[in-house]
């Protein structure tokens, strides 16, 4: 059954390219054996660099379930999630993931997935996109307000 | 100047909590010394687990610049980007990033940023959200179609 759902994600990825909608990726989300969301990559057609198939499928599933978490949902994706999508999977609290291609297959097609995984291990200020930590006296203020807030919605 | 922009991101993060809009995070994007996008975290108020401050700011900046890449733009964020946002920063091709708090400050406030960074180093199938690679004969089909497509929009 897992292979059948993964075949759907692959078919979506292929169709996404042939139709001209975007990159060669497809993802579907299933809950209790029901398909609840599906998307191809929509980066170029929506001018949104975050619109990977997994991210769009997660957003659609959240709309459908009216929740910001996707407990007991399974993600099937045509390729190993990039670090952005991996992070989104954790924040959405999916149950598990099945994927077909690897980050190295993506690299062979000139996508940066594997490169970004490697960059995570580089000290922030030495990355190809440098990330500089500045010390500011009030940096912790937002977290302090959050911790003290009694009526917050935890996520 | 970088500290001033970062102060704006911190102020946005604090206001985001006091106003009840969401988590204690804020991000702004600047190009050629002009503020082009700003957002707090919008996960709970939009029911979108991907709506971190950085991700929303990137999306807004792309709409404003009518592009899916943000060359020569600088991101200022109240906290070190989580893996999801780090990935988005690479896909959007920002020039650099300045941040105030660290992933460990976020962990102290019960956010999973540091945990997700640690999970990346765990073999996929052994992660707390297991990610299983299934071997399918046609897995590479989407990449093959992509490679052969002559009129594709590369991103």
DSSP secondary structure of A50-103:
T--HHHHHHHHHHHHHTSS--TTEEEEEEEPPPHHHHHHHHHHT-SEEEEEE-H
Q: Report which of A131, A24, A101, A34 is spatially closest to residue B90, judged by C-alpha positions.
A: A131
Torsion, Cα A114 A115 A121 A126, to 10 degrees, reads 180
CA A141 to mean position of chain CA atoms:
29
B37-63 average pLDDT score: 98
Q: Taking the model in full, what pTM does it have?
A: 0.97
Crossing angle of helices A83-92 and A113-120, rounded to 10°: 70
Question: Minimal Cα distance from A75: which residue of B?
Answer: B131
pLDDT of B106: 96
Q: What are the chain B neighbours of A133 within 8 Å (beta carbons)?
A: 80, 98-100, 102
pLDDT of A68: 97
The model's pLDDT over A19-38, given as tens digits with 9 standing for 90+, comes to: 999 999 999 999 999 999 99
Give residues 99 to 118 of B whose Cβ lies within 8 Å of A: 99-102, 105-106, 108-110, 112, 115-117
A109-124 average pLDDT score: 96
pLDDT of B93: 98
Q: Which of B54, B80, B126, B148 is catalytic?
A: B54
The model's pLDDT over A33-66, given as tens digits with 9 standing for 90+, comes to: 999 999 999 999 999 999 999 999 999 999 999 9
The model's pLDDT over A62-93, given as tens digits with 9 standing for 90+, comes to: 999 999 999 999 999 999 999 999 999 999 99
For residue A67, the distance in angstroms to the closest alpha carbon of chain B comes to 6
pLDDT of B39: 98
Contact B109 A14 (CB under 8 A): no
pLDDT of B43: 98
Give residues 80 to 99 of B whose Cβ lies within 8 Å of A: 80-99
Relative to beta strand A26-31, strand A96-101 is unpaired
B94-108 average pLDDT score: 97
Confirm if B133 and A5 have CB atoms less than 8 A apart.
no
Residue B126's pLDDT band, with cuts at 50, 70 and 90, is very high
B95-104 average pLDDT score: 97
> Could you give the ipTM of this predicted complex?
0.97
Q: How many residues does chain A have?
A: 155
For residue B67, the distance in angstroms to the closest alpha carbon of chain A comes to 6
């Amino acid at each position: 059954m897992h292979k059948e759902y993964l075949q759907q994600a692959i078919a979506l990825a292929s169709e996404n390219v042939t139709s001209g909608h975007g990159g060669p990726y497809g993802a579907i989300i299933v809950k209790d054996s029901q398909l609840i969301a599906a998307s191809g990559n929509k980066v170029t057609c929506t001018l949104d660099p975050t619109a990977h198939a997994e991210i769009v499928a997660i957003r659609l599933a959240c709309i459908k379930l009216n929740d910001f978490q996707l407990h007991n949902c399974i993600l099937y994706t045509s390729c190993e999630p990039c670090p952005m999508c991996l992070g989104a999977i954790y924040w959405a609290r999916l149950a598990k993931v099945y994927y077909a291609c690897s980050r190295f297959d993506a690299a062979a097609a000139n996508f940066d997935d594997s490169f970004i995984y490697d960059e995570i291990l580089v000290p922030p200020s030495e990355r190809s996109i440098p990330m500089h930590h500045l010390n500011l006296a009030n940096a912790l203020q937002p977290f302090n307000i959050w911790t003290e807030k009694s009526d917050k919605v935890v996520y």
